[in-house]
Each structure stands twice: as structure tokens, then as C-alpha cells.
Amino acid sequence: MPADKLADLAALLADRTRARFCLTLMDGRAWTSSELATAAGVTASTASEHLTRLVAAGFLTERRQGRHRYVQLAGRRQADLLEHLLAYVGPAQPEKTLRATAASAALARGRTCYDHLAGRLGVAITDAMSDRDLLDDDLTLTDRGLAWLTDALDFTPPRGRRPVAKPCLDWTERRSHLAGAAGAHICAHLRARGWVKNIGTGRAVKVTPLGEEALRDLLGLAPL
């Protein structure tokens, strides 16, 4: 029954430790059980118990390499659900410590949303593309946009069922940023060229000086 499935999903995400694990995995990378335990501030045995439940429910996937157990979100569908839930619950209460405040500010400036860019950086890139008629109002690619992505960023449209471009509601900016295959390609392209890089081990990213120059040339984007 749909109601039973909805209740089961709600119960799965209702635990704070499991919720922390899922949000940590929103960076799209595979994490070890011990890394997630440290990030969530729980013991290894507690982490293992929660991860087993998330994997059994199909929300995470796992693989083992040697002694290590790696887990990651099962796919974009799970990432999209988490991002929409974050947008629904709204901004968190102000953090009380300087370190937590700095971490929250970094996430708001720029972060990965599974495989694409979010925060002010993601929205700024989306806005700049829209201003240049590379995106329609619904954030689908225009013909000009497809040609630009192909020529400037070596983009090849996917052959599968994944949308080329679609909006994703940004939970900090309360507006949409670009997702889909185009959003993922832009994120991968910027990272591969060293134009954006991760801050620490979390989802926060920042634009490098080389990236600021490249984004200014490509999209007229001013430093954030």
C-alpha cells in the first residue's frame, strides 16, 4: 500500500543519525562506515547498524574493499528527495559556534547537490546561463545553450532516460539551480579543471582564482 511505503520511508529518515549520514552522502562520493561515524559523532557499531538499515531499504548502496565498507546514496532519485525535503523544512536555526557558523556559510556559498552545483554558486551559474538565453524559463536547454555546452565544455547529451537539464530547488537560496545531465557535466568539468574544489571533507566547494577567471570569461560571472 502507498501509505505503508510512505510511512516506512518516513521512519527510515526520522532518525537523526541516519539523516546525518544521508546529508553527508549528498556530496555524491562513497564514504567508509568509520568516516560517517566520525562525521555524525557516533560509535562504529552504531554507524554499522544504521547503515545496514539504510542499505536494506535501498536508500544507500554499498561495496566492500578489503576491510572497508563503502556506502553512497543509491542514486539521483534519493538525492533529489533529500534536497526537496531540505527545501520544505526551511533554513536551520542559527548555529551557536564559530566553526558551525563558518561551515553553514560555506555550504550556502557553494556546495555539491549529489552531482551538480548548488548554493549561491549553483544559482549564479544558472542565472548567468538564463541571462544569455542558454536556458529557458523552465531551465531546459535552448538550442543555443546546447551548442554552448558542446563547444565550450565538451558536453555530449546523454542517450539514456536522464533529463538533459531540469530545475532543482535550492534549499538555502529558495530558488532553482540547474540539475540533470547538463548540471552534472558542468560540475564535473569545473572540478576536473581545478576551477572549483572541495573545502575540507564535506559538500562545500569554493571557486579557485583560476575558476573565477574562467567563469568570468564563459558567463560574465563576478566572484561570489
Amino acid at 116: H
Report the pLDDT averaged over residues 2-30.
91
Q: How many residues does the chain have?
A: 224
Q: Is the pLDDT of residue 93 over 80?
A: no
The pLDDT value given to residue 107: 85
User: The C-alpha cell of 97 is what?
Assistant: 559556534
Going from N- to C-terminal start, the domains of the chain cover 2-74, 95-219
Q: What percent of the chain has pLDDT over 90?
A: 66
The DSSP line for the chain is: -HHHHHHHHHHHHHSHHHHHHHHHGGGS--EEHHHHHHHHT--HHHHHHHHHHHHHTTSEEEEEETTEEEEEES-HHHHHHHHHHHHHH-SPPPPSSHHHHHHHHHHHH-EEETTEEEHHHHHHHHHHHHHTTSB-TTSPBPHHHHHHHHHHH-----SSSS-SSEEEE-TTTSSEEEEHHHHHHHHHHHHHTTSEEESTTSSBEEE-HHHHHHHHHHH-PPP-
* Best mean pLDDT range from 60-64, 67-71, 91-95, 99-103: 60-64
Q: Which residues contact 118 (CB under 8 A, 6 or more apart)?
A: 83, 110, 111, 112, 168, 170, 172, 177
Amino acid at 173: E
- The Cα 50–Cα 34 span in angstroms is 12
Q: Residues 60-71: pLDDT tens digits?
A: 999 888 778 899
Q: Name which of 121, 215, 97, 100 is nearest 175 in CA terms.
A: 121
The pLDDT value given to residue 39: 87
Mean pLDDT of the chain: 90
Contact status, residue 111 vs residue 119, Cβ threshold 8 Å: yes
- The Cα 178–Cα 68 span in angstroms is 34
Indicate the fold that domain 2-74 takes in CATH: Arc Repressor Mutant, subunit A (1.10.10)
Contact status, residue 163 vs residue 181, Cβ threshold 8 Å: yes
Contact status, residue 205 vs residue 194, Cβ threshold 8 Å: no
